[in-house]
Amino acid sequence: MESLLHSTPFHTTVPSCFIFPPDQLKPATSTAVSLPLVDLSGRRDEVCRAMHPRLRQGSRLLPGNVGHEVSKEFFQLPVAAKADFYSEDVNKANRLFSGTVYDTDGERYWRDCLHLSCSFPVGDSAKGWPDRPYRLREVVEKYTVQTRGRGPGHDYFAGDTAGGDVVLNVNHYPPCPDPSLTLGLPPHCDRCLITVLLPGTVPGLEVAYRGDWVKVEAVPNAFVVNFGCQLEIVTNGILKSIEHRVMTNLRVPRTTVATFIMPTRDCVIGPAEEFIGEDNPPCYRTLTFGEFQRIFRVVRLGSSLNCTTNLKNAQKER
CB-side neighbour CA atoms (13 Å) of 67: 29
- CA pair distance 79, 89, nearest whole angstrom: 19
Beta bridge partners of 218: none
| 212-216 and 32-33 strand pairing | parallel
Contact between 248 and ligand AKG per CB under 6 A? no
Q: Are strands 185-188 and 212-216 parallel, antiparallel or unpaired?
A: unpaired
Q: How many residues bind ligand AKG (CB under 6 A)?
A: 12
- Between residues 192 and 234, which has the closer beta carbon with respect to ligand AKG? 192
Which of 186, 263 has the CB closer to ligand AKG?
A: 186
For residue 15, how many other CB atoms are within 10 A of its CB? Answer: 9
Q: For 97-128, b where at least 16 C-beta lie within 10 A, e where not — what string?
A: bbbbebeeeebbbbbbbbbbbbeeeeeebbee
Residue whose CB is less far from ligand AKG, 186 or 271: 186
Residue 191 beta carbon to ligand AKG: minimum distance, rounded to whole angstroms: 9
DSSP-H helix ranges across the chain: 44-51, 68-76, 79-82, 136-150, 229-234, 289-298, 307-317
Q: Does 230 bind ligand AKG (CB under 6 A)?
A: no
Give the DSSP letter of residue 26.
P
What is the contact mask toward ligand AKG in residues 101 to 140, using x (rule: CB under 6 A)? ----------------------------------------
Considering the complex, what minimum distance in angstroms separates the CB of residue 271 from ligand AKG? 24
Task: Collapse the DSSP code of 33 into the 3-class scheme (helix H, G, I; strand E, B; otherwise coil) and give the result.
Answer: strand
Q: How far is the CB of 274 from ligand AKG (least distance, A)?
A: 28
Distance CA 112, CA 4 (A): 6
For residue 203, cis peptide bond before it (omega within 30 degrees of 0):
no
> Which 154-213 residues touch ligand AKG, going by CB under 6 A?
169, 171, 185, 190, 197, 199, 204-205
- Among 258, 261, 267, 307, interactor with ligand AKG by CB under 6 A: 258
**Smallest distance from ligand AKG to CB 134, Å:** 25
In the complex, the smallest distance separating the C-beta of residue 27 from ligand AKG, rounded to whole angstroms, is: 17
C-beta of 44: minimal distance to ligand AKG in Å?
Answer: 27
**244 touching ligand AKG, by CB under 6 A:** yes
Interface contacts to ligand AKG, rule CB under 6 A: 169, 171, 185, 190, 197, 199, 204-205, 244, 246, 256, 258
